[in-house]
């Protein structure tokens, strides 16, 4: 596997969303000389959203991709060494920690900050992909506002879907909630809230067949999987809330994670079960998942790394 000579770095950051870049800004300013690998989707999940209106400091809002270019520029200006490449394997058995990039280049690092994020799960429909950003979204908190006063649909039946349906019900005239089984997975309290919302209309045993619309979403075609009956529901937006997949596969066997794969950190810190390895952003957060919370946890990771390296007197 090792075809290139290894490189020793002081602080390695894996991932380039708000958590990774914020960690890079703080780590650079603390003179940790961070090297950041961007991964397969530089800029992360925000590069597939349109307008971001809930990140403080942008009073007029900003396009997600543009905001991530700003994050990257700021990290680069502070001196972070930002590189394209995907971490494909790790060995955390001893210091310095080993991380392989693109299956070939070996990096040896004194401290590692993981900010690999999570990816929204999608239904896998061609129309869902084609209209992504044009009415199809995996984040109601990010995009719901654009559909104020409109009818929208949401698919999913877990806590996220329940929470997002409730969020949308405060903005939209009707929320059509599509549930593939005859019951919801969400916690009882969340289900009760959904049932009590007068403008959330539930469709049990219902599959989404197609998202319809030429340039933007104008309706969806759904099918009752018990009766076989199909119907077209006119909506302006289609929200997908069927779960996220944390990008933690390569850390299996090294780092503690929950059953869904979210990395576990010591509460109130970014520390994982391996000293010198820190986790920040969505890969360790299944609750908040906001750009601003991810950025905050990236800052925590850099400060924790700085303290760790300082205490170990690794310079």
Q: Residue 19 CB, nearest distance to ligand NDP (Å)?
A: 18
Q: Residue 178 CB, nearest distance to ligand NDP (Å)?
A: 7
Q: Residue 240 CB, nearest distance to ligand NDP (Å)?
A: 9
Q: Which of 11, 139, 172, 299 is catalytic?
A: 139
Q: Any contact of residue 226 with ligand NDP (CB under 6 A)? A: no
* 299 catalytic per annotation: no
Q: Residue 221 CB, nearest distance to ligand NDP (Å)?
A: 14
User: Distance between CA atoms of 33 and 168, rounded to whole angstroms?
Assistant: 43
Q: Residue 207 CB, nearest distance to ligand NDP (Å)?
A: 7
Contact with ligand NDP (CB under 6 A): which of 89, 148, 181, 226? 181
Query: Rule CB under 6 A: which of 136-165 touch ligand NDP?
Result: 155-161, 163
Nearer to ligand NDP, 63 or 225 (CB): 225
Count of residues that bind ligand NDP according to CB under 6 A: 17
* 143 catalytic per annotation: yes
Q: Any contact of residue 180 with ligand NDP (CB under 6 A)? A: yes
Contact with ligand NDP (CB under 6 A): which of 9, 12, 111, 123? 123
Six-digit token string for 49 = 């959203």
Contact with ligand NDP (CB under 6 A): which of 74, 224, 286, 303? 286
Q: Which of 81, 91, 102, 142 is catalytic?
A: 142
Residue in the shown chain whose Cβ atom is closest to ligand NDP: 158
Nearer to ligand NDP, 23 or 179 (CB): 179
Q: Give me the residues that bind ligand NDP (CB under 6 A), please.
A: 123, 155-161, 163, 180-181, 185, 242-244, 286-287
What is the set of active-site residues? 139, 142-143
């Amino acid at each position: 596997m090792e075809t290139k000579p290894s490189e020793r770095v002081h602080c390695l950051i894996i991932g380039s969303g708000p958590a990774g870049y914020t960690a890079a800004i703080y780590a650079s300013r603390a003179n940790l000389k961070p090297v950041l690998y961007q991964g397969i989707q530089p800029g992360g999940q925000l590069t597939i959203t349109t307008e971001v209106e809930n990140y403080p400091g942008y009073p007029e809002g900003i396009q997600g991709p543009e905001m991530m270019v700003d994050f990257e520029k700021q990290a680069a200006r502070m001196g972070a060494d930002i590189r394209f490449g995907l971490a494909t394997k790790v060995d955390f058995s001893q210091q310095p920690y080993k991380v392989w990039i693109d299956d070939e280049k070996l990096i040896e690092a004194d401290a590692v900050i993981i900010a690999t994020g999570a990816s929204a799960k999608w239904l896998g429909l061609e129309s869902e992909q084609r209209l992504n950003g044009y009415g199809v979204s995996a984040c109601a908190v990010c995009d719901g506002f654009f559909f104020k006063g409109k009818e929208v649909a949401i698919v999913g039946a877990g806590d996220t879907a329940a929470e997002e349906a409730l969020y949308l019900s405060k903005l939209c005239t009707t929320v059509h909630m599509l549930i593939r089984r005859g019951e919801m997975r969400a916690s009882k309290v969340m289900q009760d809230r959904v049932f009590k919302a007068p403008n959330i209309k539930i469709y049990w045993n219902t599959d989404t067949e197609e998202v319809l619309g030429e340039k933007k979403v104008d309706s969806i075609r759904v099918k009752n999987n018990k009766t076989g009956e199909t119907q077209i529901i006119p909506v302006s937006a289609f929200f997908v809330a069927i779960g996220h997949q944390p990008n933690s596969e390569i850390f299996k066997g090294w780092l503690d994670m929950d059953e869904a794969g979210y990395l576990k950190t010591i509460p109130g810190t970014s520390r994982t079960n391996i000293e010198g390895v820190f986790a920040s952003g969505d890969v360790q957060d299944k609750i908040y998942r906001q750009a601003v919370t991810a950025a905050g946890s990236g800052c925590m990771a850099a400060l924790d790394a700085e303290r760790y390296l300082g205490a170990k007197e690794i310079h």
